């Protein structure tokens, strides 16, 4: 009978599988023959260490373990829970499971007892050799024919599954004669009856229940080893897949196998169904669906270790053992990559019993060879043989980690009850017995999750960068806010300061106004007081002239004077207080003194009211006095006015050639003036010159006007002139010329200076004090003919001084004099003509005495044309002065040519013939006769003189 290999479940399922290749790196320990673990891996891979404070870290493996006393050791089993890394011995656990009699056995072996007797409580198995002899074997678990699938799972596989979930590799393997229930134990899907579910399905249930979806992963590969070829049960087209071993770690992997990530139990069951369908099976005498391949379910679990509060904190160490600044404080992620192998071995069989032949025979031989190889390895491991023939078959290579490796391994050996197969059963039992002697060095498959750490660090870095950017932005926003707030605050301060400044300014203006008002009132009071004083003085003067009743007024005036002095004292006191207020206001801040100043102002106002009342009283008295002396006062004023308008000098005359204002007065006026002068002379004596002169500097312009008039009248008297000059009157008059804005004052002052200038000594003083310059400036500025008349009169007087000729001319006296002819007023022109005549007379005198040699300065300054033009002026005062001047100029031969050229010769001839004054007419005749130039010219003109 030929055996044909068929797919065990009759073809592929309908599950679509997406192949996914996952890269896996871990660090297994190789197991030497003595069962001690040796560290594997290169010297650069990090290992997990722990700090004394309980913070595990990863250090380079090249560093000496002794370099730190805290080298973390991998935990395994109970040792793993103690936190030690060192692999610890863990014997292969072996359970024996007895399959119940099948239908055939029930029939054929009905008269025979089972070849085995199980003592599950004692975990013993008795193998009957015959009816009287048996051998007893101890197992880790003895599972009777009635043991449920659940029970089998819990005692065989569950501890291994739990170990896998803790990070250890695990292997659950079934070994036994064909048809004894290996596939039943491992691969039963239990689709119809859940209680039938085998170890594969139950293991996955527990794994899926334990992992954290989305974080942990479970992937499955399903392979079969058939005829020394690794095939992918999930992708049957993948054949002869290579088995690779990490040369450093010895870890076995099948990178070409399909890996499917399991999300749920049902998909896994469908996956198993697909794989099972792809498994080679054959119908043998012993098993209608005998597996002809070793099926290997590879479940890879990747779990992230969830660090609980208080657990050690991992820090990544650099090559030099120092922690990275970036990673300090970050809990290093640890992942555990473990794998679970569930191996459903093909059944061992005796070819003769199984009836295998042909290809099936070849399959059987291959199966037996691989199982034999496995047995040899287990024997070697069990006997601590120095050589373990792992490479004798692919099965042993695949199971390298399961026996003598780092995995926790649980083996279930399945046996049948039939005495006909005692030999195979015994062989199976012995296989299990030897396997129980194999010690693995289980090792925690925990590793540092670089990728995860990198991701976490990147995430942390991103978070820190984002946080940094957020903080920078927040800081910038804060700075903007701060700047805005500062700006707003500054604006508020500025507005507040502006308001305060405005308020202070308002208060200040009010205060200043109040002070100004007060000052104005005080000044007004002062003016009134001075007027009163002046009137009192006038009254006093009038009274003392004897024109009215002196005694009656004297007493009143005395009273008034006393009152005035009293008022003066009050005013002085008020002014002092006002100054004090101003000083106080400027010294202290205005704000703090407003109230005080207001109070002081109230007091001042009160005093001012008192002053006003006193003033009203005084005014009432003065009005009364005025009524009584009005006639006298009016007359006195009129006299003064007339006197000033007439120049104040009556005694000057052209004929006398004396310097003075040449205005003649009628006799009756002369008498009146003389009377006034007498009166003024008395006032002069009684009041005192100094007091009168002091009034020239009075702040009251009216007082100054009256005072300068009085001084001018006094100066008209030769007897007073010296006293006036000695008392500083000349200086005061010149000051008025210089500084006074009032035309009247300047006019009268010029008249006074003119009167003083009648005296030769005074003339020199006037020149010495810059008087000619002041007079010239006054002449330039003035338009009033009377002012010009006074100024011209003063200069004319100065022109009569022989010693002052040069200086007067140099300081612009002649030009000023000639400039005033613009007025065309006869009074002015008369004074100009008088000045020219005086000047010419002095020059003539100088020429006669020999100290004047040059041409006339009058001619030099351009006076000749005007002289010639006005020599025959209709106004006799002008005409006479000019005629006289021409005569004096003509007396000096050096002027003759200019006179001739200027047309003066004809005027001289006319004067010599027509002048009404005989003395002038004679002078002209003498001059014409004496001058050769004139004579020559007359001859040239055929004029006989």
Ligand X SMILES: Nc1ncnc2c1ncn2[C@@H]1O[C@H](COP(=O)(O)OP(=O)(O)OP(=O)(O)O)[C@@H](O)[C@H]1O
Q: Which residues are annotated as a binding site?
A: 176-183
Among the candidate windows 172-180, 434-442, 585-593, 606-614, which touches ligand X by CB under 6 A?
Answer: 172-180
The phi-psi region of residue 881 (left if phi > 0; otherwise alpha if psi is between -120 and 50; otherwise beta) is alpha
Quick one: how far is CA 780 from the chain centroid?
67
d(CA 399, CA 169): 11
Among the candidate windows 182-190, 197-205, 246-254, 592-600, which touches ligand X by CB under 6 A?
Answer: 182-190
For 27, 147, 159, 160, the CA distances from 409, given in Å and listed in that order, are 18, 21, 10, 7
Helix (H, G, I), strand (E, B) or coil at 432: helix
Number of residues that bind ligand X (CB under 6 A): 18
Cβ proximity of 124 and 142 under 8 Å: yes
Among the candidate windows 173-181, 330-338, 744-752, 908-916, which touches ligand X by CB under 6 A?
Answer: 173-181
d(CA 731, CA 724): 10
Nearer to ligand X, 56 or 179 (CB): 179
Helix (H, G, I), strand (E, B) or coil at 836: helix
Among the candidate windows 181-189, 403-411, 449-457, 479-487, which touches ligand X by CB under 6 A?
Answer: 181-189
* Distance of closest approach, residue 231 Cβ to ligand X, in angstroms: 16
Cβ proximity of 855 and 676 under 8 Å: no
Nearer to ligand X, 228 or 469 (CB): 228
* Distance of closest approach, residue 222 Cβ to ligand X, in angstroms: 16
Nearer to ligand X, 168 or 184 (CB): 184
Cβ proximity of 400 and 252 under 8 Å: yes
d(CA 840, CA 846): 10
Cβ proximity of 389 and 380 under 8 Å: yes
* Distance of closest approach, residue 347 Cβ to ligand X, in angstroms: 2
Helix (H, G, I), strand (E, B) or coil at 456: helix
Residue 561 in tokens: 């004077």
Nearer to ligand X, 105 or 251 (CB): 105
* Distance of closest approach, residue 423 Cβ to ligand X, in angstroms: 16
d(CA 570, CA 618): 15
What residues numbered 412-441 form the site for ligand X, per CB under 6 A? 414
What residues numbered 441-500 form the site for ligand X, per CB under 6 A? none
Q: Give phi and psi for 325, each to the nearest 5.
A: -60, -35
Strand partners, 43: none
Which position among 120, 179, 275, 432 is part of the footprint of ligand X (CB under 6 A)?
A: 179
Nearer to ligand X, 99 or 397 (CB): 99
What residues numbered 237-296 form the site for ligand X, per CB under 6 A? 287, 289-291
**Three-point CA angle 844, 847, 851, nearest 5°:** 130
d(CA 880, CA 871): 8
Nearer to ligand X, 372 or 452 (CB): 372
Nearer to ligand X, 182 or 880 (CB): 182
* Distance of closest approach, residue 149 Cβ to ligand X, in angstroms: 8
Nearer to ligand X, 100 or 728 (CB): 100
In 3D space, the residue among 910, 835, 844, 504 whose CA is nearest the CA of residue 657 turns out to be: 835
Nearer to ligand X, 177 or 844 (CB): 177
* Distance of closest approach, residue 366 Cβ to ligand X, in angstroms: 14
d(CA 709, CA 742): 13
Using CB under 6 A as the binding rule, whether residue 182 contacts ligand X is answered as yes
* Distance of closest approach, residue 102 Cβ to ligand X, in angstroms: 6
- DSSP 8-state code for residue 286: S
Which position among 57, 90, 169, 180 is part of the footprint of ligand X (CB under 6 A)?
A: 180
**Locus of tokens 């995995």:** 407
What residues numbered 73-132 form the site for ligand X, per CB under 6 A? 99-100, 102
What residues numbered 851-880 form the site for ligand X, per CB under 6 A? none
Interface characters, 347-386, with ligand X (x: CB under 6 A): x---------------------------------------
d(CA 402, CA 91): 11
Torsion sign over Cα 51, 54, 56, 57: negative
Nearer to ligand X, 284 or 925 (CB): 284
Binding residues for ATP, by number, are 176-183
List residues binding ligand X (CB under 6 A).
99-100, 102, 176, 178-184, 287, 289-291, 346-347, 414
């Amino acid at each position: 009978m030929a055996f044909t290999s068929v797919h065990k479940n009759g073809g592929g399922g309908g599950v679509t599988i997406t192949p996914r290749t996952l890269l896996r790196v871990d660090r297994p320990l190789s197991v030497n023959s003595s069962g001690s673990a040796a560290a594997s891996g290169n010297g650069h891979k990090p290992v997990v260490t722990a700090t004394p404070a309980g913070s595990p870290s990863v250090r380079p493996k090249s560093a000496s373990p002794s370099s730190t006393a805290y080298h973390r050791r991998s935990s395994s089993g109970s040792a793993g829970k103690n936190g030690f890394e060192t692999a610890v011995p863990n014997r292969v656990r072996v359970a024996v499971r007895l399959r119940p009699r099948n239908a055939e056995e029930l029939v054929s072996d009905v008269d025979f007892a089972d070849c085995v007797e199980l003592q599950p409580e004692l975990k013993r198995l008795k193998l009957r050799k015959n009816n009287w002899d048996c051998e007893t074997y101890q197992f880790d678990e003895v599972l009777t024919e009635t043991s449920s699938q659940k029970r089998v799972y819990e005692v065989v596989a569950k501890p291994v599954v739990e170990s896998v979930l803790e990070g250890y590799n695990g292997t659950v393997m079934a070994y036994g004669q064909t048809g004894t229930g290996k596939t039943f134990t491992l691969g039963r899907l239990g689709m119809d009856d859940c209680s039938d579910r085998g170890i594969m399905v139950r293991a996955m249930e527990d794994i899926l229940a334990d992992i954290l979806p989305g974080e942990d992963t479970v992937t499955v590969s399903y392979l079969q080893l058939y005829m020394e070829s690794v095939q992918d049960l999930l992708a049957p087209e993948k054949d002869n897949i290579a088995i690779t071993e990490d040369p450093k770690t010895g870890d076995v992997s099948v990178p070409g196998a399909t890996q499917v990530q399991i999300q749920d139990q049902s998909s896994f069951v469908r996956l198993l169904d697909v794989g099972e369908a792809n498994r080679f099976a054959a119908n043998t005498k012993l098993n209608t669906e005998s597996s002809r391949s070793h099926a290997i379910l590879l479940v890879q679990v990747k779990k992230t270790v969830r660090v609980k509060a208080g657990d050690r904190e991992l820090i990544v160490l650099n090559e030099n053992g120092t922690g990275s600044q970036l990673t300090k404080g970050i809990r290093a992620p640890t992942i555990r990559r473990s794998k679970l192998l569930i191996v459903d071995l093909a059944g061992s069989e005796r070819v003769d019993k199984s009836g295998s032949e042909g290809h099936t025979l070849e399959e059987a031989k291959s199966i037996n060879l691989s199982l034999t190889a496995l047995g040899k390895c287990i024997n070697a491991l069990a006997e601590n043989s120095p050589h373990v023939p792992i490479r004798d078959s692919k099965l042993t290579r695949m199971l390298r980690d399961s026996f003598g490796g780092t995995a926790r391994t649980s083996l279930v050996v399945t046996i049948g009850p039939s005495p006909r197969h005692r030999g195979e059963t015994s062989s199976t039992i012995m296989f299990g017995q030897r396997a129980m002697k194999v010690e693995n060095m289980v090792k925690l498959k925990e590793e540092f999750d670089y990728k995860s750490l990198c991701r976490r660090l990147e995430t942390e870095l991103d978070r820190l960068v984002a946080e940094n950017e957020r903080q920078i932005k927040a800081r910038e926003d804060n700075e903007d806010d701060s700047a805005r707030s500062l700006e707003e605050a500054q604006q508020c301060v500025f507005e507040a300061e502006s308001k305060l400044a405005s308020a202070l300014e308002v208060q200040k203006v009010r205060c200043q106004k109040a002070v100004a008002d007060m000052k104005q009132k005080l000044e007004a009071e002062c003016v009134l007081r001075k007027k009163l004083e002046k009137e009192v003085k006038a009254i006093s003067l009038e009274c003392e002239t004897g024109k009215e009743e002196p005694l009656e007024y004297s007493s009143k005036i005395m009273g008034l004077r006393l009152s005035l002095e009293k008022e003066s004292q009050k005013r002085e006191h008020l002014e002092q207080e006002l100054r004090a207020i101003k000083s106080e206001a400027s010294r202290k801040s205005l704000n703090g003194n407003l109230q005080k100043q207001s109070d002081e102002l109230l007091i001042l106002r009160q005093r001012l009211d008192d002053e006003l009342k006193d003033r009203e009283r005084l005014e009432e008295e003065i009005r009364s006095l005025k009524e009584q002396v009005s006639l006298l006062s009016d007359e006195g004023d009129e006299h003064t006015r007339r006197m000033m308008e007439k120049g104040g000098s009556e005694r000057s005359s052209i004929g006398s050639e004396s310097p003075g204002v040449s205005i003649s007065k009628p006799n009756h006026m002369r008498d009146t003036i003389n009377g006034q002068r007498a009166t003024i002379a008395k006032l002069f004596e009684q009041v005192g010159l100094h007091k009168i002169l002091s009034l020239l500097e009075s702040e009251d312009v009216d007082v100054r006007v009256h005072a300068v008039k009085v001084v001018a009248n006094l100066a008209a008297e030769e007897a007073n002139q010296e006293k006036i000059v000695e008392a500083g009157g000349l200086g005061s008059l010149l000051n008025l010329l210089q500084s006074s804005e009032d035309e009247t004052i300047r006019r009268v002052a010029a008249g006074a200076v003119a009167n003083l200038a009648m005296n030769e000594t005074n003339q020199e003083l006037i020149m010495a004090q810059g008087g000619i310059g002041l007079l010239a400036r006054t002449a330039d500025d003035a338009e009033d003919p009377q002012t010009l008349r006074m100024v011209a009169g003063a200069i004319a007087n100065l022109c009569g001084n022989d010693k002052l000729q040069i200086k007067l001319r140099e300081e612009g006296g002649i030009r000023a004099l000639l400039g005033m002819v613009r007025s065309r007023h006869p009074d002015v022109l008369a004074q100009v003509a008088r000045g020219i005549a005086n000047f010419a007379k002095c020059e003539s005198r100088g020429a006669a005495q020999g100290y004047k040699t040059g041409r006339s300065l009058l001619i030099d300054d351009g006076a000749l044309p005007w002289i010639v033009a006005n020599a025959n002026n209709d106004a006799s005062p002008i005409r006479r002065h000019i005629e006289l001047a021409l005569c004096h100029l003509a007396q000096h031969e050096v002027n003759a040519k200019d006179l001739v050229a200027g047309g003066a010769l004809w005027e001289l001839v006319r004067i010599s013939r027509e002048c009404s004054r005989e003395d002038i007419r004679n002078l002209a005749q003498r001059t014409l006769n004496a001058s050769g130039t004139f004579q020559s010219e007359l001859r040239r003109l055929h004029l006989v003189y």
